[in-house]
Amino acid sequence: MAEPVTSAKTIVVRGNAAHDGVRAVPEETAIAVVLNGSTQAVMMATPADLEDFAVGFALSEGIVAGPDEIEGLEVVEQQGGIEARLWLAAERAEAVAARRRAMAGPVGCGLCGIESLAEALRPLPPVGAGSTLSVADVDRAVNEIAAKQAMNARTRAVHAAGLFLPERGVVLVREDVGRHNALDKLAGAAARGGVDGSGGAVVITSRVSVEMVQKCAMAGVPVLIAVSAPTAHALRLAEAAGITLVAIARGDGFEIFTHPERIGRGEQTHVA
């Protein structure tokens, strides 16, 4: 199987001086998610944690309701890419066949191949009440995920998604060149490991676009923390799904955009 990180020769220029160097860079590979022998989606992704990716993708796309509906899983390297093969229970396979769609897109696109506006803007399941997080919890989540990005520490070129649980901190982290791929990997890892995120938060190292909110809602996680800003439509989706969206969180403060009741702020004074 391809290594997720390789090296590239460079010429390093600093001021008027230059010298030969070597830079670690992440691999980007075509990953096909194959359901019962038929390709469902092809995404460009980092070739690591692909079992988690396949399960998380199936969950976030509503292909399966839980990992118990997946009867088999294997990752097979092919010429030109990798297949993540899932075998679904008979009833679920029939349901998937009825709503078949094929998707192929670059890492920056989370909705490639959607066949209708109704699919792109599908209603999201409302999340549960969750837990109240403190200001310190939010700062801790951002600081801990930064410290646990092993691949990004080597390459400075991948996104991460982590699961933060009160009293425990960031318990899972997955990385990928695509921000939505990293979140799918996280969802799959949590589901496969039996980790319940409904009382915690997802923390991501990217902007908050529509698909990031959709994936959190499908995973049942009520708080989404991001280091960058959200889009306007992501805010509307988060509001409708009951998700607390915290963004521009960089360890020294943050902004709460939706459902602020889950973030305990003590007796802080609001200035008009």
Closest CA to 175 of 163, 187, 186: 186
The answer to whether residues 201 and 109 touch, using CB atoms and an 8 Å cutoff, is no
Q: Find the mean pLDDT for residues 169-181.
A: 97
pLDDT tens digits along 1-36: 779 999 999 999 999 999 999 999 999 999 999 999
Give the model's pLDDT for residue 269: 42
29-120 maps to which CATH number?
A: 3.10.20.10
Q: Find the mean pLDDT for residues 82-109.
A: 73
pTM above 0.85, yes or no: yes
Give the model's pLDDT for residue 113: 43
| Catalytic site residue from 25, 109, 112, 114 | 109
The answer to whether residues 172 and 145 touch, using CB atoms and an 8 Å cutoff, is no
Residue 188's alpha-carbon distances to 147, 156, 242, 243, in angstroms, are 22, 24, 22, 20
CA distance 256 to 7: 39
**Active-site residue, 109 included:** yes
Grade residue 266 by pLDDT with cuts at 50, 70 and 90.
low
Pairing mode, if any, of strands 17-26 and 5-14? antiparallel
CA atoms within 13 Å, Cβ hemisphere of 243: 32
**CATH fold match for the domains 29-120 and 133-264:** no
Place domain 133-264 in its CATH homologous superfamily. Cytidine Deaminase, domain 2 (3.40.140.10)
Give the model's pLDDT for residue 104: 43
* Tokens, residue 37: 């022998």
* Tokens, residue 210: 């529509």
CB-based burial label for 121 (10 Å; 0-12, 13-18, 19+): middle
Domain coordinates in residue numbering, the chain = 29-120, 133-264
Calculate what percentage of the chain has a pLDDT beyond 90: 79
